[in-house]
Amino acid sequence: MDMKTMFNLTYGLFVLTAAAEGKESGCIINTAGQVTVEPNQISITVNKANFTHDLIRAGGTFNLSILDETASFDTFRHFGFQSGREVDKFAGYESCERSANGLYYVTAGTNGYISASVKQTMDLGTHTLFIASVEDMEVLSQVPSATYAYYQSHIKPKPEKPKTAGKTVWRCVVCGYIYEGEELPADFICPLCKHPASDFEKVIL
């Protein structure tokens, strides 16, 4: 079995936003897709560690802003590399508007948004799968959507040139964070994007 086969799956990238009990937040996901046309339903899968996950569970609605090829790394850093439990991601954030359901959607580097309300959930261990009906949606631009592969090749900053030859480091394949050391602890979590040790690759400089 070649585990790299998983890399050949394609994914879009999205800012998922929700609100509940006076709190609002958003996170980056790559796990959204249409599952039925009639009725029009989408699925999203969200890591339980994300504050936005709890807001969706509590509020029952969400907006999915579709990131396009003009999305900046700052947008990924803003929504993906910090936790809504610690910072209000919408405080002073200007590239957003409210849709008819009252939730924010992101207007910078996005080509559309979908407003949906949750109909079913399934506990998947680390994540919850939400099946939701589409309530509203708008196209914002004709820029092609950003795929995960596009993010890897065009949006994520290129790794810095090594200064010390022969040294072993571990690089997060999601955000590029470098862990310096011969061995990466099995329970290591990327401090930037919170992905686990399995998303790190060994690099010999």
Contact set with Fe ion (CB under 5 A): 172, 174-175, 177, 190, 192-193, 195
Q: Which is nearer to Fe ion, 72 or 198 (CB)?
A: 198
Q: Which is nearer to Fe ion, 14 or 177 (CB)?
A: 177
Q: Which is nearer to Fe ion, 131 or 192 (CB)?
A: 192
Q: How far is the CB of 172 from Fe ion (least distance, A)?
A: 3
List the structure tokens of 140.
């914002």
Q: How far is the CB of 120 from Fe ion (least distance, A)?
A: 31
Q: Which is nearer to Fe ion, 36 or 198 (CB)?
A: 198
Q: How far is the CB of 147 from Fe ion (least distance, A)?
A: 18
List the structure tokens of 125.
């261990």
